Amino acid sequence: MNESMNTMMDAIRIMLHRYKELEKKVGERYGLSGGEMAVLAFLINNPGKDTASDVCYGRMMKKGNVSFLVTSLEMKDLMGKRIDEKDKRIIHLYLKEEASAVSKELERMRNSFIDKVFSGFSIDEKEKLIDFFGAMKCNLEVLDGKR
């Protein structure tokens, strides 16, 4: 069982590393840093999770780093902020139209990457894997005190 778990952990580590490399290449084409790409990709891939706190938790980044990156993206006119109508303490981040080219390329890259990683998997196998990882995510959120 231990060897199987090592194989799984290695696969996850390699998959995340390769994905970050591809994300970085997209960023280089648009003059964006890896951190800026991490923030953009998080917002693109996680609709409804649009606060700096969401980015911090989702990308395991420090609050100060996210704040710096958001400011940088605002200065590049790719991102904006809007205050929540119900709770004025909450600030929502959003991508501006100027970010659409980066967004489209990131989405194409992500879809291509997923297709390659899961090549040869049946639909049933993919669905089971999604269920397993969903359960793992819930367990991790419990450990982090998020549930």
Q: Report the distance separating Cα 137 and Cα 134, nearest Å.
A: 5
Q: In angstroms, rounded to a whole number, what is the distance separating the alpha carbons of residues 109 and 121?
A: 19
pLDDT at 51: 95
Q: Is the pLDDT of residue 96 over 80?
A: yes
pLDDT digits (tens, 9 = 90+) for 11-42: 999 999 999 999 999 999 999 999 999 999 99
Question: Which class for 74: exposed (0-12), middle (13-18), buried (19 or more C-beta within 10 A)?
Answer: middle
Report pTM: 0.84
CB atoms inside a 10 Å sphere around CB 90:
14
- Kindly state the average pLDDT of the residues 90-105: 94
Strands (E), 19-83: 79-83
Instruction: Please tell me the CATH code under which domain 2-143 is placed.
Output: 1.10.10.10
Q: Kindly tell me if the per-residue pLDDT of 1 is higher than 80.
A: no
Residue range 61-87, pLDDT digits in tens: 999 999 999 999 999 999 999 999 999
Q: Where are the domains of the chain?
A: 2-143
Q: Residue 95 pairs with which residues in a beta bridge?
A: 79
